């Protein structure tokens, strides 16, 4: 039982490049989330999807887009990467909103 799977685990980009972070869960959860974690800042919500077919902005959505591809998959796209987006990105899922979340292993992203 894999839980929440994120790919890639590490990535280095140049400023201006684009990329998509992938996330998939196999727990039949309705809600999925994308967070970034920076030193001293805790976990900040970028976007979330309360249920299949819906997406909403979180605390720090600027510079990102998301797609809830189906119930299992929720991707995060950086259209034009900036050094300020260097961070660790976590995907999470929960049976429904406000319930305990299960996190993936994270993607460590560096933008030069």
Partner 1 sequence: GQQVMQIPQYQHVQEGEDFTTYCNSSTTLSNIQWYKQRPGGHPVFLIQLVKSGEVKKQKRLTFQFGEAKKNSSLHITATQTTDVGTYFCAGPGSGAGSYQLTFGKGTKLSVIP
8 A C-beta contact, residue 78 and residue 63 = yes
Site string for partner 1, 37-76 (x = CB under 8 A): ---xxxxxx--x-x-----x-xx-----------------
d(Cα 23, Cα 107) in Å, to the nearest integer? Answer: 10
Q: How far is the CB of 66 from partner 1 (least distance, A)?
A: 14
Q: Residue 69, exposed/middle/buried by CB under 10 A (0-12, 13-18, 19+)?
A: middle
Can you count the helices (H) and strands (E) in the chain? Answer: 0, 11
Residue 109 binding partner 1, by CB under 8 A: no
Site stretch for partner 1 (CB under 8 A), options 15-23, 63-71, 75-83, 98-106:
98-106
Q: How far is the CB of 77 from partner 1 (least distance, A)?
A: 20
């Amino acid at each position: 039982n894999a839980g929440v799977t994120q790919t890639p685990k590490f990535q280095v980009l140049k400023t201006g490049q684009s990329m998509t972070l992938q996330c998939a869960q196999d727990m039949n959860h309705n809600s999925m989330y994308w967070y970034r974690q920076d030193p001293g800042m805790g976990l900040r919500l970028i976007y979330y999807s309360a249920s299949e077919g819906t997406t909403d902005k979180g605390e720090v959505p600027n510079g990102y887009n998301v797609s809830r591809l189906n119930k299992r998959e929720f991707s995060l796209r950086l259209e034009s990467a900036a050094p300020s987006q260097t961070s660790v990105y976590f995907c999470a899922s929960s049976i429904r909103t406000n319930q305990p979340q299960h996190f993936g292993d994270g993607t460590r992203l560096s933008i030069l």
